[in-house]
Chain A
Amino acid sequence: MTVATAPSPAVTGTPAGGPARRRRVLRWLLPMAPALALLALFLAGPILWSVYIAFTNETLTGSASVNSQFVGFDNFVRMFGDPNFVNSFLLTFVFVIGSAVIGQNTLGLIIALLQRGRGRVTRSVVNGVVIGAWVMPEIVAAACWFSFLAEDGTLNAALGISQEWLYTAPMLAVILANVWRGTAFSMLVYSAALSEVPPDLVEAAAVDGASPWRRLVHITLPLIRRSIMSNLMLITLQTLASFGLIYALTGGGPGTASQTTPLYMYEQAFRYFEIGYGSAIALVMLVIGALFSLVYLRLIKVEDA
């Protein structure tokens, strides 16, 4: 803490030399040290560690827990040859496209558009309900949807039918639940974006006789293009790794009918204690997430970070 009284940024005029240089480094390194240490130990560390154990046969029980061995690409060969992994991969794809790209994104945009020019009361009621679903912890959201879709649940009672939705249509169930939970984010993004669209542009087009649909497609949407792309990337990244909601709602079942990749990874690593194999799956998910994240960085073109 004695270095806390180092000279202010304004008065470091000494040429780059021994002590002055060291002091300058300390000036930024000291306040950043706790953050750097935590990031290195608990974020970068595990990621590097996963690269290592993904190539071993490490388990939590049995002989491989004491001395795990390097097994090369065995875990990856096994992964891509396992129909359950391929199934989980396809289900993750369906889940992301269905619940994020089509569901949350489109519904969020529609709600934001419908709310334009509405009265305060209407907006507050709609916002309150949609955002309420978003603020709710995911396990409570799962409990809500469990009761909503159960055989003696609210939906069946309202429709007057008897249908065990979580067994007959598990993917539809988790997709709907995730749309319900996540739409608020897209809605907020699009409300913010739409408020920046200059009204006179849209009005001018209306005067020229453009239909509401044409005004939307040719003026409004191109103007909020960047927000659309950013939103799509962000919700895709969030949905890829989604675990709690599906786990609590269907447990991945029945069988493997709704077992997305995070649930498959959970089963392998924490139920069968195949830590090496589980890490290989984690690594694949990290790489996919990293690729999307890179695309996202490109898209938003960060100005002077």
Chain B
Amino acid sequence: MTRIAARGAALLSLLVITLAFLGPFLWVLLASVQPEATLSAAPTLTFSLDNFRAVLTWETIILPLINSIVISGSTALLTVLVAGLAAYPLSRYQLRYRRHFMLTLLFTTGLPVTAILVPVYAMFFRFNLYGSVPAMVLFLTASSLPFSIWMMKNFMDGVPVSLEEAAWVDGAGWMQSLRAVVGPLMAPGIAVVAIFVFVGQWGNFFAPFVLLDTPEKQPAAVTIYTFFSQYGQVAYGQLAAFSVLYTAPAVVLYVAVNKYLAGSFNFGGSVKG
């Protein structure tokens, strides 16, 4: 009897938690398809795609989304390339300061990136890099490197050295061996790192907000902020439609790597004591 009661209580608690979590979602989902949307998630029977049609213009959402893709995509690609190269000696050679280096990387992942933006901005201003998308991408890459090198090294450790030996015998150097043997074997790991960095930068607001000067360069994160910070004259339905379009890619990519990422939350894996 108590078993059933406990089970019921657990299910009831989960139901309450789920409903509480659903609350803030409701408005985005409902308002995006309501032509007369307000701030309240009011259930109505009207359904229309007018809001989506209204925001799907070049300067409202298409250009910002392209900017987001360019910024997040090039950061992800560059990060994977640079982190993959750096992880190779860390995974394959006995280096004297390897442990210190890895610990320093782990330490760096804990530093508040938000705080680094003031000196980065000062530096960019001094060296005329303010407003430069490539310079910002290099900064974003550097800030995602510590964690990415860690993940890359762990994935690379999973590829047995014996598989590379055949390539060495054939006279291949580390470049060929990395490209032709290790790379393909750790493709899932590379995809996880790339998507992880991409989704992280997709939602990044502060860095482009501070480092880019004109609206034409801004990614969707900043555009949507300027969209709804103009209190009083917001078309709420359009804001909701923008939110849906901007959030969808992050959700799709998360679902794609969900299975692999779940393992990263187990501290018994690469980092144990």
Task: List chain A positions with a Cβ less than 8 A from chain B.
Answer: 1, 4-6, 8-11, 27-28, 31-32, 34-36, 38-39, 41-43, 45-47, 49-50, 53, 58, 60, 107, 110-111, 114-115, 118, 122, 125-126, 129-133, 135-141, 143-148, 150, 152-158, 177, 180, 185, 188-189, 191-193, 196, 212, 226-227, 230, 233, 237, 240-244, 247-248, 251, 262, 265, 269-270, 275, 278-279, 281-283, 285-286, 288-290, 292-294, 296-297, 300-305
Smallest beta-carbon distance B154→chain A, Å = 10
User: Are A6 and B114 interface neighbours, CB within 8 A?
Assistant: no
Q: Which residues of A contact B25 (CB under 8 A)?
A: 129, 132-133, 144
User: Are A304 and B99 interface neighbours, CB within 8 A?
Assistant: yes
Q: Which residues of B contact A41 (CB under 8 A)?
A: 138, 142
Supposing A290-B107, A293-B111 touch, asked if A136 and B250 sit within 8 A by C-beta, the answer is yes
Extra 9 A-B pairs, beta carbons < 8 Å, given A34-B81, A53-B122, A289-B112:
A43-B116, A43-B142, A50-B116, A50-B119, A136-B251, A138-B221, A140-B243, A196-B266, A286-B112
Q: How far is the CA of A185 from the CA of B102 in the complex (A)?
A: 24
Task: List chain B positions with a Cβ less than 8 A from chain A.
Answer: 6, 10-11, 13-14, 17-18, 21-28, 31, 38-42, 81-83, 85-86, 88-90, 92-93, 95, 98-99, 102-103, 106-123, 125, 138-139, 141-143, 145-146, 149, 164-165, 168, 171-178, 199, 202-203, 205-206, 210, 220-221, 224-225, 228-229, 236, 239-240, 243, 246-247, 250-251, 254, 262-263, 265-268, 271-273
Smallest beta-carbon distance A170→chain B, Å = 15
User: Are B107 and A294 interface neighbours, CB within 8 A?
Assistant: yes
Q: Give A195's nearest chain B residue, CB to CB.
A: B266
User: Are B14 and A293 interface neighbours, CB within 8 A?
Assistant: no
User: Are B116 and A35 interface neighbours, CB within 8 A?
Assistant: no
User: Are B229 and A248 interface neighbours, CB within 8 A?
Assistant: yes
Supposing A35-B149, A281-B118 touch, asked if A296 and B113 sit within 8 A by C-beta, the answer is no
User: Are B273 and A226 interface neighbours, CB within 8 A?
Assistant: yes
Smallest beta-carbon distance B241→chain A, Å = 11
User: Are B175 and A1 interface neighbours, CB within 8 A?
Assistant: yes
User: Which listed residue, A144, A192, A279, A293, touches B27 by the CB 8 Å rule?
Assistant: A144
Q: How far is the CA of A230 from the CA of B273 in the complex (A)?
A: 12
Q: Which residues of B contact A10 (CB under 8 A)?
A: 165, 168
Q: How far is the CA of A11 from the CA of B251 in the complex (A)?
A: 48
User: Are A305 and B116 interface neighbours, CB within 8 A?
Assistant: no
Q: How far is the CA of A180 from the CA of B236 in the complex (A)?
A: 22
User: Are B243 and A270 interface neighbours, CB within 8 A?
Assistant: no
User: Are B121 and A305 interface neighbours, CB within 8 A?
Assistant: no
Q: Give B31's nearest chain A residue, CB to CB.
A: A147
Please name 21 pairs of A and B residues whose Cβ atoms are closer than 8 Å in the assembled complex, sorted by A.
A10-B165, A28-B95, A35-B83, A35-B149, A38-B82, A46-B116, A49-B123, A114-B13, A129-B22, A135-B251, A136-B251, A154-B40, A188-B265, A192-B263, A226-B273, A270-B121, A281-B118, A285-B115, A286-B115, A300-B267, A304-B99
